[in-house]
Structure formats: structure tokens, C-alpha cells
């Protein structure tokens, strides 16, 4: 990528952080590739104000992209993705940068490409391949659900790559490059990788040939975006270059947000289609699950009657059911038997977790939870349970018997009637 500086001359220096190593290898990423003694000499030779600027730039170059990544992670409404996996993808982005650095040394060492050819075409291709390797591994894992996961994991890998590249630019060209990069180059890196992740997410439900075509298509789109961006910032000399570059980055990231939103709507439909009696989920519970965007409002009666902690338990229970519905639909759509077995194991674990959560919520709270929506939305047994609860409340106010006494009386009456008939 290109370091945005004030002059045309500085913009034409180098377009990738690791390309700088071919001219000034001693200055590239001293924080990572040099020992503390070597790092202290040049750092101590600059003014105190400059040191402060560099530290401030490093903070911006690290925490702003991390904040954008966290924002993107929070778009996963149903929480099908794993935060641990997001961190792993971020870490892989750091590794991918090191691999790209090594590749650039080989390319320039054997004079395979000129600097401009590498910046404009070679680097985008190599980078997108390297960043996507972890996505190719994850897409076969049972915990990888749909393209929403692919978008977020790909975005994380791209941000990891971009952060380490930010550091290289700050040490090579100064603190002024940080802000320009976090609103442009970083978002392009993340968007390109997310596009590959989206393609891989769709590929889960295809046969082998379809999976290969979608992977290649995702790579083609991601590489095309990256190539177009690098050519823009190396060929255009307008004073509005930073604005053009930021426009590309922000537009790309916005597109990923829209795709995640689309995935959420599809998952919501999956939940509606998949949750049912086979997983011991009543229609009343399923109705609440499909309104989770208003979960705080829906659970307000429970919070009022049983307390906020119990409402939180109900919320956790409902989100587990939502994930179960998504996993059920995923299982139905998969064509690979090995992947199906993995997802079935995930479903079994989720059902156990849901049963534990249901017991924690408690029967009285479950009655109120199922009654949030009209009884017409609930199956017969749920309506009967609600009627029994009303009897408990009525008799309790009169000092009457418990629900077990009531059921015992009815059982005795039924047995007596059977004896008379005999």
C-alpha cells in the first residue's frame, strides 16, 4: 500500500511497507526484526517531540483499526462467530505480512518484477492469497457457519496485516502517514480479505467444484479491488488523492457491513424455518427468538417480576436457541458428509447447553417467557402449562394446595373413573 504524504515525491517512494526493505532494510520494522540495542540508537537520536509523535502515531495505527474490527465483530448479531477465532485471524494477518515481506525480497532479489509492477500488480495478488489461507482452513471447521463468519474473519486477517504495515510506514516515513492509512489502506486490506471470506462462506454449501469456483471468484474480486486501489494511489497525483483513497476504503467497509446485514436477515429466516419440536423449542419461544432485536423490551416483564439477572439468563437461553436454528439450517444445506458430522456434533452440544440454560431459567419464568406472545402462537402443551400456572396463582392466594397436589387429585380421579368403568 501507499504511504500518504504531502508531496508527489513522497507518494512515489514505495507502495508497500515491506517494499521499503529493499532500499532501507535496516529501517523496516525495527520493533519486530531488530534487537533492543539496535532500536534504541536511532530512536534516541530524534527529538523528544518527534518521539511523542511516533508513539501517538503507533497508537492511532493500532487502536483505530482494532476498534473498526471490534465494530465489525459486533455486527454478528447472533454470535455465531468466535471472538477467539477473530483474534487468531488477526494474528494470522501479522504472519501474512512477514510472508509477504519474504516474498518481496525473493522477487526483487531475482529481478522478477520492477518496483512499480510489484506495487501495482504483484503485491496485491500475493497478499490476498496469503491472508486468505487461514480462511480456507476455517471454512471446513464446524464452528464456521455462514458467510457472516467469513466476512468477519477475513476482515480480521486484513486488519492484522494492515496494522503491522502501518508500523513499518511510521518507522520508515514518520508519524504523518498514520491517519491517512487508517481511513483508506487499512479498510481496503480488510475489505479485500472479507470479500474472499464471504465467497468461502457461500462455498460451504457447494460441491467440490463449486467450492473451488467460489474461492477463485472471491480471490479475483479481492485482488481486483486491491490492484485498483494500488494503481489509484500510485498513478494519481491530485491533491485530493487522500480523499479518493479514503472513499475507496470507506465504501468497501460499508459494503461489508451491508453484506453482514443481509446475512443476518437470512439467518433470521433460517431460525424461523428450523426451530421446532424436534429441539423441544415451543412456538412461543421461537416467536421470541425471531424478535431478538427487541430483546430488552420483550424481556421487560421478566425483569420486572423476577429481576434483571433472570432476564439475562432468558436472553442467553434465547440466543442459544437462535444459534441452534442456524446450525439446523446449516446441516440441511451442507453436501459434505464430514462437515455434516461436525455440525451435528455442534448441534448436540448446543442442545445440552440449552437444556442446562432452561433449567437455570426455571419453570415459572419459562411460563412467563412463553406467554410474551399470544397463546395462538403456542402449542397445546404450552397453553396447558400456562393454565396450570394460573391455577397455582389462584389457589396460592386462597392458601390452597400446590401444583403437585392438583395433579395428584386429578390422577386419583382419573384412576377412580377407570375402576368404575372396569
Asked if 154 and 269 count as a contact pair (C-beta separation under 8 A), the reply is no
Indicate if the pLDDT at residue 143 is higher than 70. yes
Q: How confident is the model at residue 401 (pLDDT cuts 50, 70, 90)?
A: low
Q: How confident is the model at residue 150 (pLDDT cuts 50, 70, 90)?
A: very high
Q: Which pLDDT does position 53 carry in this prediction?
A: 87
Indicate if the pLDDT at residue 126 is higher than 60. yes
Of 26-40, 208-222, 368-382, give the lowest mean pLDDT range. 26-40
pTM given for the model: 0.78
Indicate if the pLDDT at residue 147 is higher than 60. yes
Q: Which pLDDT does position 50 carry in this prediction?
A: 80
Contacts of 205 (CB under 8 A, 6+ apart): 333, 334, 335
What is the pLDDT averaged over residues 240-258?
94
What is the pLDDT averaged over residues 384-405?
54
What single string gives the DSSP state of each residue in 273-319? HH-SGGGT--HHHHHHHTTGGGHHHHTHHHHHHH-HHHHHHHHHHHH
Q: How confident is the model at residue 387 (pLDDT cuts 50, 70, 90)?
A: low
Q: Where do the structural domains in the chain lie, given as residue ranges?
A: 8-263, 275-397
Pure H helices in 174-235 = 177-182, 185-203, 208-235
Other C-beta atoms within 10 Å of 51: how many?
13
List the grid coordinates of 417: 373413573
Specify the DSSP class assigned to residue 5: -
pLDDT in tens, 74-121: 999 898 889 999 999 999 999 999 999 999 999 999 999 999 999 999
CA dist 155 → 192, 196, 199 (Å): 8, 9, 13
Q: Which pLDDT does position 414 carry in this prediction?
A: 54
Q: Which pLDDT does position 252 carry in this prediction?
A: 97
Q: Which pLDDT does position 410 carry in this prediction?
A: 59
Q: Which pLDDT does position 128 carry in this prediction?
A: 98
Q: Which pLDDT does position 21 carry in this prediction?
A: 36
Q: Which pLDDT does position 393 carry in this prediction?
A: 57
Task: Please tell me which residue, 178 or 13, carries the higher pLDDT value.
Answer: 178
Q: How confident is the model at residue 259 (pLDDT cuts 50, 70, 90)?
A: very high
Q: Which pLDDT does position 30 carry in this prediction?
A: 33
Indicate if the pLDDT at residue 407 is higher than 70. no
Q: Which pLDDT does position 413 carry in this prediction?
A: 59
pLDDT in tens, 324-339: 999 999 999 999 999 9
Indicate if the pLDDT at residue 240 is higher than 50. yes
Pure H helices in 28-122 = 30-33, 36-44, 48-73, 83-109, 115-117
Q: How confident is the model at residue 391 (pLDDT cuts 50, 70, 90)?
A: low
Indicate if the pLDDT at residue 213 is higher than 70. yes
pLDDT in tens, 370-382: 887 644 444 444 5
Contacts of 229 (CB under 8 A, 6+ apart): 1, 124, 185, 188, 245, 248, 249
What is the pLDDT averaged over residues 220-232?
97
Whole-angstrom distance, CA of residue 229 vs CA of residue 225? 6
Of 80-84, 183-187, 217-221, 276-280, give the lowest mean pLDDT range. 276-280
pLDDT in tens, 347-357: 999 999 999 99
Of 19-23, 182-186, 302-306, 384-388, give the lowest mean pLDDT range. 19-23
Q: Which pLDDT does position 349 carry in this prediction?
A: 94
Asked if 373 and 287 count as a contact pair (C-beta separation under 8 A), the reply is yes
pLDDT in tens, 51-65: 888 899 999 999 999
Q: Which pLDDT does position 244 carry in this prediction?
A: 92
Amino acid at each position: 500500500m501507499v504511504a500518504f504524504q504531502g508531496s508527489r515525491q513522497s507518494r512515489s517512494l514505495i507502495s508497500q511497507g515491506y517494499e521499503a526493505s529493499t532500499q532501507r532494510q535496516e529501517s523496516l520494522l525495527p520493533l519486530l526484526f531488530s534487537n533492543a540495542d539496535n532500536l534504541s540508537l536511532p530512536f534516541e537520536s530524534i527529538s523528544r517531540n518527534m518521539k511523542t509523535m511516533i508513539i501517538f502515531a503507533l497508537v492511532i495505527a493500532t487502536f483505530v483499526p482494532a476498534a473498526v474490527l471490534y465494530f465489525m465483530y459486533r455486527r454478528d448479531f447472533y454470535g455465531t462467530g468466535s471472538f477467539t477465532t477473530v483474534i487468531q485471524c488477526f494474528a494470522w494477518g501479522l504472519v501474512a505480512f512477514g510472508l509477504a515481506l519474504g516474498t518481496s525480497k525473493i522477487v526483487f532479489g531475482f529481478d522478477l518484477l520492477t518496483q512499480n509492477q510489484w506495487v501495482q500488480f504483484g503485491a496485491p495478488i500475493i497478499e490476498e492469497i496469503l491472508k486468505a489461507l487461514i480462511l480456507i482452513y476455517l471454512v471446513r471447521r464446524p464452528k464456521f457457519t455462514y458467510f457472516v463468519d467469513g466476512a468477519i474473519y477475513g476482515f480480521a486477517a486484513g486488519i492484522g496485516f494492515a496494522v503491522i504495515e502501518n508500523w513499518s510506514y511510521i518507522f520508515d516515513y514518520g508519524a504523518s502517514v498514520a491517519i491517512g492509512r487508517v481511513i483508506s489502506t487499512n479498510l481496503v486490506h480488510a475489505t479485500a480479505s472479507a470479500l474472499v471470506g464471504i465467497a468461502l462462506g457461500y462455498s460451504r454449501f457447494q460441491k467440490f467444484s463449486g467450492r473451488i469456483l467460489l474461492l477463485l471468484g472471491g480471490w479475483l474480486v479481492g485482488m481486483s479491488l486491491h490492484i485498483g486501489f494500488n494503481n489509484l494511489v500510485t498513478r494519481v497525483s491530485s491533491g485530493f488523492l487522500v480523499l479518493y483513497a479514503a472513499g475507496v476504503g470507506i465504501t468497501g467497509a460499508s459494503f461489508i457491513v451491508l453484506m453482514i446485514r443481509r446475512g443476518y436477515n437470512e439467518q433470521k429466516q433460517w431460525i424461523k424455518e428450523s426451530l421446532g419440536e424436534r429441539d423441544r423449542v415451543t412456538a412461543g419461544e421461537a416467536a421470541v427468538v425471531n424478535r431478538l432485536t427487541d430483546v430488552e423490551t420483550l424481556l421487560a416483564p421478566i425483569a420486572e417480576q423476577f429481576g434483571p439477572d433472570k432476564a439475562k439468563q432468558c436472553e442467553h437461553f434465547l440466543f442459544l436457541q437462535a444459534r441452534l436454528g442456524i446450525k439446523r439450517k446449516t446441516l440441511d444445506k451442507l453436501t459434505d458428509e464430514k462437515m455434516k458430522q461436525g455440525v451435528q456434533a455442534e448441534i448436540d452440544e448446543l442442545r445440552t447447553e440449552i437444556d442446562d440454560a432452561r433449567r437455570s431459567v426455571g419453570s415459572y419464568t419459562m411460563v412467563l417467557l412463553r406467554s410474551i406472545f399470544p397463546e395462538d402462537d403456542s402449542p397445546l402443551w404450552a397453553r396447558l402449562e400456562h393454565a396450570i400456572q394460573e391455577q397455582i396463582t389462584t389457589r396460592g392466594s386462597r392458601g390452597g394446595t400446590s401444583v403437585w397436589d392438583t395433579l395428584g387429585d386429578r390422577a386419583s380421579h382419573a384412576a377412580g373413573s377407570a375402576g368404575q368403568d372396569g
